[in-house]
Amino acid sequence: MNIEVVNTKSVRVIAIASGKGGVGKTNVSINLSMALAALGREVTLFDADLGLANVDVLLGLKPERNLSHVINQECELKDILVDGPNAIKIIPAASGVKMMSQLSDLQHAALIHAFDDLVSRTDVLVIDTSAGLFNSVLSFCAASQEIVVVVCNEPASIADAYALIKVLHRDHQVGRFRVLVNMVDDREEGRKLFKRLVQVCEKYLDVILDLLGVIPRDPNIIKAVQRQKALLQTYPSSPAALEFKKIADIADKWPKARSANGKMEFFLEQIIAPRAIDQMGVSL
């Protein structure tokens, strides 16, 4: 099937990933999206966690429809977009997406059309991925212009971040990663952790890691999660919130895709590829 994206607007696609679960991906996705929106960008947050609807839960949203309704041509993408804080638009997690590998031509076309439509209304597409090295996660990452790897100071988090980087490098030729250290007591701890990850990656892989930021352990995040609100909504001056704003300033200056629409087209090709939605894990 030919994929033609006629729109010429450039969309920055940022995937938030980690390998290990519970390290803060969804909080990063939401607050980074909000901080980018505060800079004047039109931001769409795609909840690509195919298992659990993370963004909905953290923001207390109860969307009635999701991407599966778009694929089945029951509605258009604009009908499922949910308004989030700071006017970000949220694409709710799709249930039953395992079926995507068996989409009919008509359903494929509907999905392509849906994301094509998104180009005209978005400057930045942030993708909150699920934990694990599922092919869906890898494909979303590989299709994105920027991959932010969230890591915290636990051996399993570092090992899983390394495994994610290794597979994306080996199987998808990704050469650059932005690392976001989360839940540390101070900047020094964050820097040390980043250095450890760089050392192990440099030893075995030919990749470039950039330290995007260090987010402190902040009890206000836990309070915000309990209230089902974003940190930037409830505690905009808290230490972690200030760091999210700094990170958004940096991300906003990243170079855009070289061709006007090339990356979005590539993104579409990747996410509709049958293996993209395959939930099988990969071997290391």
Ligand X SMILES: Nc1ncnc2c1ncn2[C@@H]1O[C@H](COP(=O)(O)OP(=O)(O)OP(=O)(O)O)[C@@H](O)[C@H]1O
Contacts with Mg ion by CB under 5 A lie at 25-26, 54
Which one of 11, 13, 17, 26 is in contact with ligand X (CB under 6 A)? Answer: 26
Site for ligand X in 41-100 (CB under 6 A): 49, 54
Binding ligand X (rule: CB under 6 A), the pick from 125, 143, 149, 183 is 183
In angstroms, give the least distance from the CB of 280 to Mg ion: 20
Residue 25 or 69 with smaller CB distance to ligand X = 25
The alpha carbon dihedral of 21, 24, 27, 30 has a sign of: negative
Between 26 and 136, name the residue whose CB sits nearer to Mg ion. 26
Report the nearest approach of ligand X to the CB of residue 131 (Å).
4
CB of residue 256 vs ligand X: minimum separation in angstroms? 27
Token pair in block for residue 114: 């849906």
Q: Does 280 bind ligand X (CB under 6 A)?
A: no
Of 22 and 262, the one with the shorter C-beta distance to ligand X is 22
Among 191, 217, 223, 246, binds ligand X (CB under 6 A): 217
Contacting residue, 7, 21, 246, 273, with ligand X by CB under 6 A:
21
| Partners of 124 in the β-ladder | 12, 43
Please give the helix or strand (H or E) that residue 211 lies within, else none: strand 208-216
User: Quick one: which of 56, 160, 218, 265 contacts ligand X (CB under 6 A)?
Assistant: 218
Long-range pairs of 243-247 with CB within 8 A, sequence gap ≥ 24? 243/213, 243/214, 243/215, 243/216, 244/28, 244/31, 244/32, 244/34, 244/35, 244/215, 245/35, 245/38, 246/213, 247/32, 247/35, 247/180, 247/212, 247/213, 247/215
> Residue 98 and residue 49: Cα distance in Å, rounded?
12
Q: Stretches 18-26, 65-73, 170-178, 269-277: which one binds ligand X (CB under 6 A)? A: 18-26
In angstroms, give the least distance from the CB of 52 to ligand X. Answer: 7
Smallest distance from ligand X to CB 21, Å? 3
* Binding residue (CB under 6 A) for ligand X from 147, 158, 221, 277: 221
Q: Which residue is nearest to ligand X (CB)?
A: 21
Stretch that binds ligand X, among 39-47, 133-141, 189-197, 210-218 (CB under 6 A): 210-218
Q: How far is CA 151 from CA 25, 37, 165, 184, in A?
A: 9, 24, 12, 10
What is the end-to-end Cα distance of the chain in Å, rounded?
32
Hey, what amino acid is at 142?
A
Among 148, 240, 241, 276, binds ligand X (CB under 6 A): 240
CB of 54 to Mg ion, least distance (A): 4
Determine the 3-state secondary structure of 236 from DSSP. coil
Number of H helices, E strands in the chain: 12, 8
Q: Which two tokens stand for residue 126?
A: 């942030």
- The amino acid at residue 227 is R
- Asked if residue 46 lies in contact with residue 192, where contact means CB atoms within 8 angstroms, the answer is no
The residues of the shown chain that bind ligand X, judged by CB under 6 A, are 18, 21-27, 49, 54, 131, 182-183, 215, 217-218, 221-222, 225, 240
